[in-house]
A and B are shown apart, each in its own frame.
Chain A
Amino acid sequence: MTGRAASIALLICVASSSFFARTAAHANDRFTSDERAMISANGPWPLNPTPDPSNRFSGDQTAIAFGKDLFSDPRLSRDENLSCTSCHVPELGFTDGLERSTGIGEVDRNAPAIANLANFRWFGWDGRSDTLWGQSIHPILNDLEMAATAADIAAQMAGQEDLAARYEQATQTNPADETPEAILVNTGKILAAYQETLRTPRTRFDDYRDALVTGATAGQVAYPDAAKRGLKIFTGKGKCSICHFGPLFTNGEFHSIGIKHFAAADRVDTGRYGGLKAFRESKLNRLGPHSDEDQALAAKAPSAYAAFLHSNWGAYRVPSLRNVGATAPYMHDGSLATLEDVVDHYSDMNMDRLHSDGETLLRPLDLSAQERADIVAFLHTLTAAPVASAAGD
Chain B
Amino acid sequence: MTANIARAICFVAMAALLSVAPALADCGDETGLLIKGDTAVLHATPPPSALEVGEPFALTLEICEAAAGMEVIRLNARMPAHGHGMNYEPELSRLDDGRYLAEGMLLHMPGEWEFVVDVRSSDQSERLTAAVDLKP
Specify which of A34, A252, A359 is in contact with B83 (CB 8 Å cutoff). Answer: A359
Give the complex CA separation of A201 and B86 in angstroms. 32
Instruction: Across the interface, name the chain B residue whose C-beta is closest to A254.
Output: B87
Contact-residue bracket for chain B: 20 to 34
Question: Which of B88, B109, B110, B135 is A305 in contact with, Cβ under 8 Å?
Answer: B88
Asked if B87 contacts A307 (CB within 8 A), the reply is: yes
Question: Which residue of chain A lies nearest to B107 when distances are taken between CB atoms in the complex?
Answer: A251
Whether B54 and A246, one on each chain, are in contact in the complex, defined by CB atoms closer than 8 angstroms, is: yes
- Contact flag A309-B110 (CB < 8 Å), given A37-B136, A304-B104, A359-B82: no
- Flag if A243 contacts B109 (CB, 8 Å): yes
**B104 and A302: CB pair below 8 A?**
yes
Contacts A245-B110, A305-B90, A361-B82 given; does A40 touch B56 at CB 8 Å: no
Provide the A245-267 mask, 1 if CB < 8 A to any CB of B, else 0.
Answer: 11000011110000000000000
Is B73 engaged at the interface, CB distance under 8 Å to the other chain?
Answer: no
B136 pairs with A40, CB closer than 8 A: yes
Query: Which listed residue (A302, A309, A361) contacts B56, Cβ 8 A?
Result: A302
Q: Please report the C-alpha to C-alpha distance between residue A252 and residue B107 in the assembled complex, in whole angstroms.
A: 11
Interface residues on A, range: 20 to 34
| Given A242-B110, A302-B104, A361-B81, A251-B88 contact (CB < 8 Å) | no
| Pair A300/B103 contact, Cβ less than 8 Å | yes
Q: Is B29 an interface residue (CB 8 A)?
A: no
Taken together as a complex, chains A and B put the C-alpha atoms of A40 and B108 apart, in Å, by 17
A91 to B109, CA, bound (A): 33
- A302 in complex: contacting residue of B82, B88, B91, B111, CB < 8 Å: B88
* B104 smallest CB distance to A (angstroms): 3
Q: Could you tell me if B88 and A306 are in contact, using CB atoms closer than 8 angstroms?
A: yes
Considering the chains assembled together, what is the distance between the CA atoms of A362 and B82 in angstroms? Answer: 9
Task: Collect the chain B residues with CB atoms within 8 Å of residue A38's CB.
Answer: 110, 136
Q: Which residues of A contact B12 (CB under 8 A)?
A: none
B109→A242 contact, CB < 8 A: yes
* Cβ–Cβ < 8 Å partners of B91 in chain A: 305
A358 touching B87, Cβ below 8 Å: no
Encode contact with B along A220-261: 1 for CB under 8 Å, 0 otherwise: 000000000000000000000011011000011110000000
Show the binding face of B for A, using Cβ within 8 Å: 53-54, 56, 81-84, 86-91, 103-104, 106, 108-111, 135-136
List 4 tightest A-B contacts by C-beta distance, closest first. Answer: A305-B104, A360-B83, A307-B89, A41-B136
